[in-house]
A and B are shown apart, each in its own frame.
Chain A
Amino acid sequence: MPKLLTVTRKDLRVLLRDAAALGVLLGMPMVLIFILGSALGGLGGEGGDIGAPVAIVNLDTGARDSSVTDVGAEITSGLIDNETVAGIFDIQERDDATEVRGEVERGELLAAVVIPAGFSQSIADGDAVTLEVLKDPGSELSANIWESIVRGIAADISRVSIIAQTAGESAAGAGLPPELVGATVGMAVERATAQDAVSPITVEQRNQTAEATVDIEGMDFYALSMTSMFLVFGAMFGAFGFITERRDRTLSRLLTTPTSRAAVIGGKMLAIWILGMLQFTILYVFTRFSFGVEWGGDPLATFTVAGAQLIAVTGLAVLIAALAKTERGAGGYGSLIVQLMALIGGVFFPITILPEWLQPIRYASIMGWGLEGMSDIQIHGAGLAEVISPILALTVMGVVFFAFGIWRLRTE
């Protein structure tokens, strides 16, 4: 193990002194995220103000007992008064649910929430209630953020309501503090979805059937996709590391020392993984604080998905090193594989714009799985438990690539 780590440290030192590689792995994605995000995502304003039009239709007039909290009004004011929500959406308070449904359908509104009549009374009675979320399917990312916020609010109301009833107090105690609304903003949906199991409130999602309009938050989308793609580029540079050492005979020299082949190869793979995690961390922090990109409410889950993606990347590095004889060959194989995986993995456009029958093609791509996990966390507020499938799939991909690679890898 110490020798494995010595190889890793040496490789990291060599890689970190390679200005060209660092430029590609760090500089390029930052530039691309900025350019693509700005061009397609409406960058501008503090915190990435998008100003997407959404509507609240509050048909709830409160409970019969006036001492019981008017939950519909609390939700409405909570959303309208919340600065973060207001920073993302242009919220309109409306009365006519039918009219609003039509506007969402025509793409004039991005999304809406309809609080049904009798909502407060139903909660006070302990009955199941439903919040209706309307979404323009063409504006998936923004609309999902809206849905996530509503889900979070619904879950919080449920939780407060259940606590109050369990404590034997009046339902009046179930008032919704505005700060609770704020806490749900920023896609803290993991908690919301987890509470759904015991919640008497369900959120009914309706995708309106209007022709889709392209109005995605480019910065959020491209932060994920470009980062995911450039993590896979790390495989190419990892393969370069193997090939350069093979060409310069340092690899064979290493194998003349009393060091196992496993320690040499393992050390090099660990270096690729660590460099990738470093790259991911830098891009995560950079996009989060420079562009206000929301990566989701569960950094542990996000970093675990990234770590799994990098396991696949290290396996791919060994495979490319085995296939290519020269750096130029590795560049050729690497670029081909990365671009193909990017194309089918949904890096350049959301995979949902492909015909439904074609969408599973993304599962042949490291980026497809990586983006699925990360966007689940970002958009749907998924936690670690909900992204186990992509994590496992990426790990299996890494093992398969490695197995093929190590079978063919020449050290001489």
Chain B
Amino acid sequence: MADIVTVEGLVKRFGDLTAVDHVEFSIAEGEIFGLLGPNGAGKTTAISIMSGLLDATEGDVVVDGNSVSKKPGAVKRVLGVVPQEIALYETLSARENLTFWGKMYGLGGKDLSEAVDRALELAGLADRAKERIEKYSGGMKRRINIAAGILHTPRVLLMDEPTVGIDPQSRNHILEQVKKLNAEGMTVLYTSHYMEEVEFLCDRVAIIDHGKVIATGTIDELRAMIGDADVVAVELDEPPAPETVELVAAIPGVSQADAVESTLQVLSADGGAVLAPVVAALGRAGAHVRGVEVTEPNLESVFLHLTGKSLRD
């Protein structure tokens, strides 16, 4: 598939702060592309530039052949945007909100009413369409927030952390929605700091930290950056002291050890072999082990491997 979005050397500075630092990636038409990074990594700033809300300090974004800096109107016609915040009118009903946003995207007449009905069905809230948004739960608001961005069936959907602060049921509903939209041909850029969501949804991922893309690839390609290592996650009573982490890192067969809150993550080519020495070393250091798990590498461990810190930091 040809690329429908190309981000070229994107830089955004706010005074002395560089929020986006020479970011580059491209998204093929029809894929779900993840932008994974902790809070404050620059994901929202990048989305704001891509959607024409902010001007880039340097670089450009090309969507469907149009530069967002030169032809923002043409780009906006192709995009749907789901912001991180619930950007809806609380005193209007779901139907009134969707009708309004549909008109803002240029829909009208029968097309608009059909689009609103379809979006309400997709959100699973057709039976509560006349209720004011202020009466909805957080999860229901999130679903309408997404519905408002897809009314006009955009070719590219930018979703900025669309599941923040909601219950697991609504989160699953949203993730299924995204899958369904993508299956219908919509290209999706999905930003999140939830590794599980990105792993579940995305074909390819760019990992971003401090405004810089530090790795890009498919999930398997990113996992391969750690090699064939196992991840040994040792849950402790309390966060381990730095000297305890160093003690574990020095054990033969351990390639890396990092503390993520009260969990010690250990990378090793043979997780089973290092398990006993690690637990013994922790015991000697006075740490109380509550549980141990040996898993395959995931994006969390990739991020840890690349940055030395957790996605939740």
Contacts and interface: CB of A to CB of B under 8 A. Distances in A.
A92 interface: no
Contacts of A17: 91-92
Contacts of B104: 3, 6, 254, 257-259
Contacts of B87: 248-250, 252-253
Interface string B154-188: 00000000000000000000000000000000000
A253 to B, nearest CB: 4
B103 A3 contact: yes
A258 B77 contact: yes
Given A3-B103, A10-B100, A248-B85, A255 B53 contact: yes
A257 B85 contact: no
B contact patch SS: loop
Contact of B89 (A6, A10, A258, A412): A10
A13 interface: yes
Q: Which of A6, A249, A252, A256 has the most CB of B within 10 A?
A: A256
B96 interface: yes
Contacts of A412: 48, 53-54
A13 B76 contact: no
B73 A258 contact: yes
Contacts of A259: 104
A125 to B, nearest CB: 73
Interface in B186-237: none
Contacts of A250: 87-89
A2 B101 CA distance: 13
A385 interface: no
A253 B79 CA distance: 12
A258 B91 contact: no
Interface string A221-260: 0000000000000000000000000001110111111110
Contacts of A6: 100, 103-104
A6 B102 CA distance: 11
Contacts of A10: 89, 92, 100
Contacts of A14: 89, 91-92
B88 A258 contact: no
A176 B269 CA distance: 116
Interface in B69-105: 73, 76-77, 79, 81, 83, 85-92, 96, 100-101, 103-105
A252 B89 contact: no
Given A13-B92, A13-B96, A412-B53, A253 B81 contact: yes
A3 B76 CA distance: 15
Interface in A128-145: none
B239 interface: no
A258 B53 contact: no
A260 to B, nearest CB: 8
Contact of B52 (A3, A18, A248, A255): A255
B88 A256 contact: no
B79 A18 contact: no
A257 B101 CA distance: 8
Interface string B98-140: 0011011110000000000000000000000000000000000
A252 B53 contact: yes
B51 interface: yes
Contacts of B88: 248, 250
Interface in A251-303: 252-259
Contacts of B77: 258
Interface string A6-31: 10001001100110000000000000
Contacts of B103: 2-3, 6
Contacts of A411: 53
Contacts of B76: 256-258
A256 B91 contact: no
A407 B77 CA distance: 27
Contacts of B85: 248-249
B89 A253 contact: no
A14 B97 CA distance: 11
Contacts of B101: 257
A249 B83 contact: yes
Nearest to A254: B104
Contacts of B106: 258
A409 to B, nearest CB: 15
B153 to A, nearest CB: 14
A80 to B, nearest CB: 58
Contacts of A257: 76, 101, 104-105
Nearest to A252: B53
B138 to A, nearest CB: 15
Contacts of A252: 48, 53, 83, 87
Given A249-B83, A250-B88, A256-B53, 13 more contacts: A10-B92, A17-B91, A248-B85, A252-B53, A252-B83, A253-B87, A255-B52, A256-B79, A256-B83, A257-B101, A258-B73, A258-B104, A412-B53
Interface of A: 2-3, 6, 10, 13-14, 17-18, 248-250, 252-259, 411-412
